[in-house]
Structure 1
Amino acid sequence: MRGEHCIMGATIMSAIAIILLVFAHIGQIASGALVNSIHMMEVNVASYGNGYQGANNKSAGGLYDSKNDQLGTGKGLRQYYRYGLYNACAYQKDGSGICNSSTFAYPAEPLSQILADTPSKFQTETNNVIKNIKPEPTFGDDGYNHAMTRGGSALIFVGSVLAAAALIFGVIKLRISFLAAAICSGAGAFLLMIGAALWTAVIAKDNFVNTVKVRSGASLGINVYAGPSLYLTWVAFALVTLSCAPYVIACCTYRK
């Protein structure tokens, strides 16, 4: 009975972890109401117009797009840019938005993606005001952001697959299956931890831009925040980690 109880507990924890990971994975696959608030990272540029005016003493009229035009066409900034594991979407204040095409392990490159939406007459000043921040923030380092977020997303995907495999193996009442479940849950937890840590590091470094002031003394108006998907991944990691020990105990005590 000890093995049965261990498996019941491990199965419940694994199942909850998979449900949380499913929500983390579907964030930003579209701009609909179900998934538009689920994201790994948000870049809020709603106040950048004021920061632009303070930094350059020029009007920011025309800086923002209000028609949800295709992203990357220089038609104007959106107020919120949200990044998921497979996609990025941009939203207006009214909640309407548009997304890029889906890509496995979508890389977050906030500066280049913002510049791609910035109308041409604002691009040089926008690039310069960010590049001239001292010390230079990683927010403007596309290579760093690309590598870290793409690697993190790929690891979270593989970790999620292993966590699901652990759940499947765990319901097969064989000692070898319990061993496989323990191995999968241990490896899955490790990969989820590394993937979530990579995203956490990116957000922690990029949000230095939140504190930047322009020469007028006003805030730059670009703010980076962690999203619900990141927290869901960390909770799932904890649950998958906790499920590993019961699988090991079941493997050692189950008699069939």
Structure 2
Amino acid sequence: MSEFVYPPVIATARTLFRLMGLRFRVEGAEQVPRTGGAVLVSNHVSYLDFIFAGFGAHPSRRLVRFMAKKEVFDNKISGPLMRGMHHIPVDRNAGASSYRAALNALKGGEVIGVFAEATISRSFTVKDIKSGALRMAAAADVPMIPMAVWGGQRLWTKGRPRRLFQRKVAVTILVGEPMHPKRGDDFEKLTKELRDRMTELLEKAQREYPDVPKGDETWWQPAYLGGSAPTPEEAAELDRQDKEIRRSA
């Protein structure tokens, strides 16, 4: 597979982040296999998560092909980049084709990135997740690796103005131990285990995060740590309202 776009994009991102003074902590990167297919499953707190989650695979010299909603590929700016990096569009009206594309990539030895919550979590906790990533890993007979990213919400997240040039923000990327789902497993049970693992990683990232919100910055801290982010219940209601607005548009 030709890689004319992905490496320059990574190099550009690294340069920009260095100029911004972003402080990265990456832990557990050795869990990403250096060869063969794998599914990376990350939480979702910002629009930059695909970049940060991808950084977790860089020490293993792997390029992650993320599954992202079709609208991102339709954009005249992001679309060419996404296609050039061989990410996989997800059309919710034709999900089977996206699944097949990801499965073929996994069998071809690629690393596929999935945000199992589907949308950004406004509460900055792990939302309910679906079993698709587990079933995909089982069908391709590849490991599934839980991840947690934290800090990117301070730069750009749902419902908040973009602050892409905020300096010296800390970004934490934690990679957990692989799971090895197989055909015929109890996927309901495994989905709960995956969510528990993601939650454990995320809470570790949050509790060990070096920065403390000050003044009116408490919005990026989850409610369970004393922040002013919506509770999971409040976030679910906001998501429901968004869906209603989109349906009526």
Q: Specify the structure having the higher radius of gyration (Cα).
A: 1
Greater percentage in strand: 2
After TM superposition, the score normalised by the length of structure 1 is: 0.21
| Larger RCO: 1 or 2 (CA < 8 Å, sep 6+) | 1
After TM superposition, the score normalised by the length of structure 2 is: 0.22
